[in-house]
Amino acid sequence: MKKATHPIRLLTAVPICDGHDSAISTINLELIQHGIEVIYLGYHRPARDIARAAVQEDVRAIGISSYNGGHVEFFAEVRKQLHALGGADIGLFGGGGGTITRADAQIMQKNGVDRIFFAGTSLSEIVSFVNDKYGTSRSASSENTKSIDRRLGRLLTEVTSSLPRRASNGRQKKRLPKLVLGITGPGGAGKTTLIDELVLRFLRSDPKMRIAILSHDPSIVGKGALLGDRAAMFYSQDDRVFMRSLSTSGRAGGLAPETERCLDVLLHEPVNGNGFDVVLIETVGIGQEAVPFDNGSVDKTILVMSPDYGSRVQLQKIAMLDVADVVVVNKSDLASARAASSEIEHRVAMNHRNQQVFSTVAKRHGDAGVDALFDALSHVERALPAARAADHAPVADKKSVRAGATGSLPASAARRTRTGRQAARGTQRDR
Ligand X SMILES: Nc1nc2c(ncn2[C@@H]2O[C@H](COP(=O)(O)OP(=O)(O)OP(=O)(O)O)[C@@H](O)[C@H]2O)c(=O)[nH]1
Residues interacting with ligand B12, by CB under 6 A?
12, 18-24, 26-27, 63-65, 67-69, 93-99, 117-121, 126
Q: Which does 270 bind (CB under 5 to 8 A by kind): Mg ion, ligand B12, ligand X, none?
A: none
Considering the complex, what minimum distance in angstroms separates the CB of residue 107 from ligand B12?
Answer: 16
Using CB under 6 A, pick the residue from 50, 90, 256, 362 that binds ligand X: 362
Nearer CB in complex with ligand X: 53/61: 53
Bridge partners, residue 282, by sequence: 183, 215
Rounded distance between C-alpha atoms, residue 347 and residue 96, angstroms: 52
Burial class (CB in 10 A: 0-12, 13-18, 19+), 228: middle
28 binds ligand X (CB under 6 A): no
Find, among 243, 249, 229, the residue nearest to 189 by Cα: 229
Q: Which does 188 bind (CB under 5 to 8 A by kind): ligand X, ligand B12, Mg ion, none?
A: ligand X
Nearer CB in complex with ligand B12: 22/106: 22
Choices 109-117, 120-128, 314-322, 327-335 (CB under 6 A): range interacting with ligand X: 327-335
Site string (178-217) toward Mg ion, x via CB under 5 A:
-------------xx-------------------------
Q: Which does 65 bind (CB under 5 to 8 A by kind): ligand X, Mg ion, ligand B12, none?
A: ligand B12
Choices 63-71, 142-150, 185-193, 422-430 (CB under 6 A): range interacting with ligand X: 185-193
Burial class (CB in 10 A: 0-12, 13-18, 19+), 222: exposed
Decide: 292 and 321 in contact? Cβ < 8 Å.
Answer: no
Show contacts with ligand X in window 218-257 (CB under 6 A): 229, 232
Nearer CB in complex with ligand B12: 23/209: 23
Question: 3-state class of 4 per DSSP?
Answer: coil
Decide: 54 and 236 in contact? Cβ < 8 Å.
Answer: no
H helices then E strands: how many in the chain? 14, 13
